[in-house]
Amino acid sequence: MRFDPEIYDKEAEREFRWFFRWTGEQTWRKKIEKLESSPRFSDADAYRQYLRQRNPLMVAIDHYFNLTQGGKTIAKNLDDFDKRICGYLKLLNCISRGRFVSGFKAVERQCHRR
């Protein structure tokens, strides 16, 4: 099985929903709220930018929450960065559902032969 990282506009919302089904939407809302409630040290806000770079998934999820809260369609309003993150969500969702188990077992068998 070969993984296709391309994400289509219509798939993005589904991938987010599946991701929240197994990770918990409230978990991500709390993480974002914690980041937003952290103290601001200056206008540059370097600390928050550092945290956002450490977890780019949180930035895309925050953007998704803002779009859904504003009633905007996900397919039309995702930018290229968000679509790239959706590719990672798609991979994580496949792994969580066990679709790559057979591929991992094949690699594991090859490693044990040596």
Distance CA 1, CA 107 (A): 13
**Per-state percent for the chain, helix, strand, coil, to nearest 5:** 75, 0, 25
pLDDT number for residue 112 = 39
Provide the token pair at 6.
């391309």
Taking only the tens place, the pLDDT of each residue in 48-80 is: 778 778 888 888 999 999 999 999 988 888 888
86: nearest Cα among 2, 9, 7: 7
pLDDT beneath 70, residues of the chain: 1-7, 42-44, 99-114
Question: pTM of this prediction?
Answer: 0.73
The 3-state DSSP class for residue 17 equals helix
Distance CA 59, CA 84 (A): 12
